[in-house]
Chain A
Amino acid sequence: MVAAGSAVADDVLLKRPAADLLGARPLPPGLHPPSSLGDPRMPEVEPQEVERPGRSEQEIVFSLANLGVTYGKSLALTGVTMDIYKHQITAIIGPSGCGKSTLIRCLNRMNDLIPGAAVTGSAFYHGEDLYGPRVDPVVVRRHIGMVFQRPNPFPKSIYDNVAFGPRINGFKGDLDELVERCLRQAALWDEVKNSLRKSALALSGGQQQRLCIARAIAVEPDVILMDEPASALDPISTTKIEDLMQELKEHYSIVIVTHNMQQAARMSDKTAFLYTEVDQGTSERWGILVEYDATGVMFTKPCDKRTEDYISGRFG
C-alpha cells in the first residue's frame, strides 16, 4: 500500500538543513576522557543548581543519531536522527505502530525492561552517551521522568504516590512541603488537599493522570517524557493536562508522543513525524523518522508528501 521506499526517506533527511538540526555533535563514545575526579557521592541535588539561562533556546538535551530499536529479530524503528532542545515541548506524531512509543522509551532506557529489545545507533543526553558502559539506567530514569498512556498510580494513598520517588531517593527535607508543591504544580492540589490519605485509585482518570505527573516531577527530573498522556482521558481533562504542560515547560524539557494532531499543533515547539515502512517481500514493518522541524513549519509547509497527507488527512 505504501510505495515509498527508504531511499525517499533518506533523501528527505538529507534535504533538511542538517547542521541546523543536529547542532554540535557530541564526542563519540570512545573519546570520553577518563573523568571521574568528580566526587561520585556528590549530593543528588546538584542538577537543580544548574542555571537555566535565557540562551537555553538552543541548548540541546538529547542528541540522537541513527537511532534504531530491534525486538528480537524484528526491526521496530530505524534511522532516527534528531536533536531535542531544552525547555521546549517536542511532539512525536505518526500513525499507530510507527514506533513513537518505542522511540520515547529509548530516551530513559525503559526499553531495557523489555526482553529482547536492543538499541542501535547513539543517543546522547547532555553530551553523554545514554547507553554508555558506565551509565546506570536507574540514574537515567531519575533525571528523565515519564508519564504513561494510561494513568497508573500505585494502589497507595495520594500522598504516598507523590512521596514514592523522593523516599526511594533518600530525600531529606520537608516531604509534606514537597508533596504540596508537586501537587500544586500538577494543578491537583485544590482538588485533593483534603484527601491526601485517600487511595489514589479513587480519583477520576484525569486526576489520576495529573497525580502521575505530580509523582514524576517529585523526583525533580530534568526532562519529562509523556507517552500519549491524554489519550485515555475526556476532553476536559485533556485540556487541563495541556494547560499544565505549558506551565511545566518553564521548568522542564518535555517530549510528548501523541496521535492527536491538533494537540501537537497547539502545544509543541517542534514536531517529529514518524511513519511506517513496509518491506513488500516479507511484509515486516518498522518505523522511520520522516520529518522533524519547528511545529509551525511542519503544519503549514511540510517538506515531505507523506507528512502532508497525514496531516491534511486528519484535518479533513
Chain B
Amino acid sequence: MNGIDAAIPVAGESTLNRWTDERVASGRRWRNRLMAGFMGAALAVSVSVVGLILLYVVKAGLGAMSWEFLTQPPPYSYRLEGGGFVNGLIGTAIMLVFATVVSAPMGVMAAVYLAEYGGKGTLAKLIRFFSDVMTGVPSVFVGLFVYTALVTSFGFGASMGAIALTIIMLPIIIRSSEEMLRLVPRDLKDASHALGASKSQTIVRVVLPSAAPGISTGVMLAVARAAGETAPLILTILGAQAIVTKLWDEAIAALPLQIFDGARNPFAAGVERAWAGALELVVIVLAFTLLARLLASRSRI
C-alpha cells in the first residue's frame, strides 16, 4: 500500500494516508439508509392511505350516487333499496348554520380578549390552556354533557345538536383566531392609535378587518370538523327517517349519523346508501377545507 501511495507524485504528501479512500463504516452507512428508507416508507404509507380512502369513497360512493339519493329521504328499512339522505343533509345544514352563527362571534370575541387584552395574565393563560385541552375532550363526552344538562329537560332536537357542535367548534375558532390576530403588525395598530382611535375602535376597524381572512380560515376548518362529527349527535338528535325542520324537541337526522347507521347494519341497500352518504360528506368537508385554504392564501397580513 505504501508503494502505491509513494507512486503518486504529490509533493510533500508521501507520509500521509489517502483520506479519500476512507469510507464511513458500512454499518453506519447502512443504518443511515435504512432509517431514511423507513421514513420514506412511513410517508408513502400515510399518503397511500389518504389515496385509498378517497379513491374508495369516490368509487363506491359514485356507484351508489343518484339524483334520488340527493333528493329523497331513506326508506323505512335498511333492507330496501332506493331513497337517499336528504333529511340528513338538511339536518346537518341546519345545525352547522346555527353552530357557526353562535360559535364564530363568540370565538372571535374570546380571541380578541386573549390577543389584545388578556396578554400574559393568569386568566388569559388559563383560558388559552383550557381551550387547548378542550379540543382534546372526546366529542362523545360533549354529547353526554349536552344530554345530561339540556336534552333531559328540553328533548332531542336540532338545537341540541347545534349546541354540541358549538362546544366542539368554539375552542378551535378561539385558538386559530388568536394566532391570526397576533399576526396583525404593530405598526398598523400604532398608526390607528396615532390617529386618535380608541383601543376598541382600532380593534373593530383595523385589527379585525386585516385578520378577517385568517379568521375565516379557522372558522371554515372548524365547520369542516363539525360537519363530520357523529358521536355527539347520537346523544343529542337521536336520528330520524323523515324530513324534519323543527328545531326543538323533535329528533332529527344528520348525514354522518345516517352513514353510521348504514355501516352498522349489514344490509346491502343500507351500505350502498352509506357509501353515497360518505361521498357526500367527504365532498362537503373537503369543500370547506379548500375554502379555508383559499381564504388563507388570500390573506396577506
Contact = CB atoms under 8 A, between A and B. Distances in A.
A128 B22 contact: no
B149 interface: no
Interface stretch (A131-139, A228-236, A245-253): A131-139
B18 A139 contact: no
B7 interface: yes
A47 B4 contact: no
A41 interface: yes
A42 B2 CA distance: 13
A40 B25 contact: no
A168 B23 contact: no
B83 to A, nearest CB: 56
Interface string A259-284: 00000000000000000000000000
A38 B12 contact: no
A209 B272 CA distance: 67
A58 B11 CA distance: 11
B187 interface: no
A60 interface: yes
A126 B5 contact: no
B35 interface: no
A46 B4 contact: no
B47 interface: no
Contact of B15 (A27, A53, A132, A136): A53
A139 B13 contact: no
A37 interface: yes
A112 to B, nearest CB: 15
B17 A35 contact: no
A44 B22 contact: yes
A47 to B, nearest CB: 7
Given A37-B1, A39-B1, A128 B24 contact: no
Given A26-B10, A35-B4, A37-B1, A46 B15 contact: no
Interface string A136-162: 101100010000000000000000000
27 contacts: A23-B12, A24-B11, A24-B12, A33-B7, A33-B8, A35-B4, A35-B8, A36-B21, A38-B5, A38-B18, A38-B21, A41-B23, A42-B21, A47-B17, A47-B19, A49-B17, A50-B16, A50-B17, A58-B12, A59-B12, A127-B11, A128-B18, A128-B19, A138-B24, A143-B19, A169-B25, A170-B28
Interface of A: 23-24, 26-27, 33, 35-42, 44, 46-47, 49-51, 53, 58-60, 125-128, 132, 134-136, 138-139, 143, 168-170
**The 5 residue pairs across chains A and B that have the minimum distance between CB atoms:** A24-B11, A127-B10, A127-B13, A38-B21, A128-B20
